Structure 1
């Protein structure tokens, strides 16, 4: 771990004269908002060479009846390189919980025309808002929305190939990829339970593939202050060659997402709906001994208001978010719906953006499930996030 960390620092020092990504303005207008990869790609359009950046967040969480937990949740280093006017490479190297190292993205982009880019490598699956826009200063709340973690699930990335681009005449941004997708058996961890598909993420680590999956998204930005997204993901999970012909060794997944973001002066709002249908879940559960639902569904609505004047460089954003999500929205066969997986949450908090790309955060959550007599879990969250 230490050797990897120092190697990355040494690499960065060798390129001390390389250009850095522009200081993050965190625009409230969702039409002009960029994520880390988009900023890296756009920041070195004028010349060849290396672009560097990063983001990080640290959290304090204290839930009902639990000790407080403190965590340097993630520190991410971003690198982009422009080979020529058409060819760029982007990667994210992520250190999680101090001791875990991941490659979150690593893809090569080749610009075919002004509106068509060919991409290949480890990429984010375009589903919902936060899976693509997960930098800590781009969303309210210390933690990412819970339904994104359980249903989408963030941060979901796989190895694939596809195209992306814009069609400004129609005010559309599009993405279309083929991926390897979830695995049925991730070293003894299975799909299902309260975390839904989360255990199936392969993350580009010696990923297995015997089924091709398709993912696509279209964003519309033709109305002032508004951005609408429609996402889709369709395919089957991956299974080992020795068992791939056995009934229940994999499942089919059809996931659809709708999202919206809106901003007007000091007011902003966002919402998201995700539904996933699972085929052959009964056979999968019988084979692996899991409790995967035949449908997963979740949604949330959030409103926010900047308490400081618009001409101030700093922002103090008060927000409220309601989430409702269920990893047992439906079940097949003899599997009973687990009411503990049917959850809802209220989150109330403040985001204090003290400088472009730097924010302190605080919020309080009320977490419930559908089990009769279950107690509401109350949780205090404090933290900060940076992105540069």
Structure 2
């Protein structure tokens, strides 16, 4: 059996090697049609500067943004929002050192004392190139986990909303302070990364929101705990295949504070583990994406006793998406650089797939979503989107209901949403 596995791996690597005549420039296979600012961007996605495309002392200002309208058919309510406007500033100091930053404003405005809107740095880091294939980053950056984190521009994904699995299970635009090492192999079309970051803060976990509330995001984050993340991405024909993982402590409190509430302390106290795998395919107008992720949190019971935040000990999510550009086969100058993409995506997730003895199961967190829609791109950096989302969840646990009906509305286990939006990048 072991020999058969080795033989299979050898055949696969031989096939990969035959396509790897020049792997120094993988970015051309990942992100075609870059904006001027994105031409500063390194090897994967949109968020890493490269010295190869920037001259000495070059500064670039760019950005992206999106707005949306949503109709909730069960509650007969609608909302419209400028979701985010992001300003990109990058600077190439010399051939080896560059700076990258993203400043984000969400929900259009920030008002004192009102729980809406946010201004924050999404990323701000230095990049030190060792050679054309390897570099370090240091500062506030997004590690390579999932598909969306490095491809979060609205022109880079289908649908008005970002995939829910990559919002609720894997936090989207998950930025932390740390250092990272990125590279690609010289003889194989394989990219890799490893990073050391500040860990999550379990005291900020909130029921029903996954682990996103525990992000530090560079704002006075506890540095008593540590986390590591790593990823490997292979390019085989028209496929991109990635495996990534995260492991880190979640107790940022001091030894004295942790001991006083019955928790362990240290860099890896109350560890949380996340694993993720994804496959992307693109050819002749067809695209396909498949992603699965799982989170294990063995010490969730201790966290619940200390913070009473009903933290689960496991959660998972997965989605599959198919898309097609209907303008792909039209041979006319009028359709050059235009796209009309139809897509369908199915997502399934459970934010409390396993709970500790002191946890309360919430059926509403076991969800499935079917999304279908259209993206029209009159030029590569503008998108107009519309889609319908059909949502199905489990029942609401009455033990979690503060105001039961008729004081509050009956929770709908089936719901439908209409989304319309726009996005841009430049």
TM-score bracket relative to the smaller structure: 0.7 to 0.9
Find the counterpart in structure 2 of residue 260 from structure 1.
Answer: 279
Find the counterpart in structure 1 of residue 55 from structure 2.
Answer: 46
Find the counterpart in structure 1 of residue 423 from structure 2.
Answer: 385
Aligned mates of 2:35, 2:416 — CA distance in 1 = 39
Find the counterpart in structure 2 of residue 75 from structure 1.
Answer: 85
Find the counterpart in structure 2 of residue 251 from structure 1.
Answer: 270
The answer (yes or no) to whether the contact 2:55–2:94 under 8 Å persists in 1 is no
Residue from 237, 242, 256 that aligns with 1:224: 237
Aligned mates of 2:89, 2:201 — CA distance in 1 = 28
1:302 aligns with 2:318: no
SS at 1:243 equivalent: helix
The answer (yes or no) to whether the contact 2:377–2:384 under 8 Å persists in 1 is yes
Find the counterpart in structure 1 of residue 215 from structure 2.
Answer: 201
The answer (yes or no) to whether the contact 1:24–1:357 under 8 Å persists in 2 is no
Instruction: Say which is worse superposed, 44-53 or 158-167, in terms of deviation.
Output: 44-53
Find the counterpart in structure 1 of residue 164 from structure 2.
Answer: 146
Q: 1:182 to 1:164 in 2, by over 3 A?
A: same
Aligned mates of 1:21, 1:266 — CA distance in 2 = 20
**Per-residue displacement from partner, 1:330-353 (whole Å, max 9, x unpaired)?**
112232422111111000000001
1:150-229 to 2 correspondences below 5 Å: 150-185=168-203, 190-221=204-235, 223-229=236-242
SS at 2:155 equivalent: coil
Find the counterpart in structure 1 of residue 408 from structure 2.
Answer: none
Aligned mates of 1:106, 1:166 — CA distance in 2 = 23
Residue from 46, 54, 64 that aligns with 1:55: 64
Residue from 381, 390, 393 that aligns with 1:357: 381
Aligned mates of 2:351, 2:52 — CA distance in 1 = 39
The answer (yes or no) to whether the contact 1:193–1:341 under 8 Å persists in 2 is no
SS at 1:334 equivalent: coil
Find the counterpart in structure 1 of residue 18 from structure 2.
Answer: none
Deviation at 1:47, TM superposition (A): 3.5
Q: Where does structure 2 lack aligned partners over 5 or more consecutive residues?
A: 1-33, 110-117, 397-410
Aligned mates of 2:162, 2:43 — CA distance in 1 = 18
Find the counterpart in structure 1 of residue 253 from structure 2.
Answer: 240
Question: Whose Rg is larger?
Answer: 2
RMSD: 2.1
Normalising by structure 2, we get a TM-score of 0.80
The answer (yes or no) to whether the contact 1:24–1:387 under 8 Å persists in 2 is no
1:86 aligns with 2:57: no
The answer (yes or no) to whether the contact 1:92–1:105 under 8 Å persists in 2 is yes
Aligned mates of 1:67, 1:254 — CA distance in 2 = 38
**Per-residue displacement from partner, 1:299-329 (whole Å, max 9, x unpaired)?**
0000001111345321100000000001111
1:288 aligns with 2:307: yes
SS at 1:36 equivalent: coil
The answer (yes or no) to whether the contact 2:125–2:140 under 8 Å persists in 1 is yes
Q: 1:262 to 1:21 in 2, by over 3 A?
A: closer
Whichever structure has more strand as a proportion of its residues is 1
SS at 1:137 equivalent: helix
1:107-146 to 2 correspondences below 5 Å: 107-146=125-164
Normalising by structure 1, we get a TM-score of 0.87
SS at 2:154 equivalent: coil
The answer (yes or no) to whether the contact 2:274–2:295 under 8 Å persists in 1 is yes
Q: Where does structure 1 lack aligned partners over 5 or more consecutive residues?
A: 1-19, 26-31
**Per-residue displacement from partner, 1:223-255 (whole Å, max 9, x unpaired)?**
221101111100111422242334347631010
Find the counterpart in structure 2 of residue 322 from structure 1.
Answer: 346
Aligned mates of 2:258, 2:189 — CA distance in 1 = 43
Deviation at 1:66, TM superposition (A): 4.0
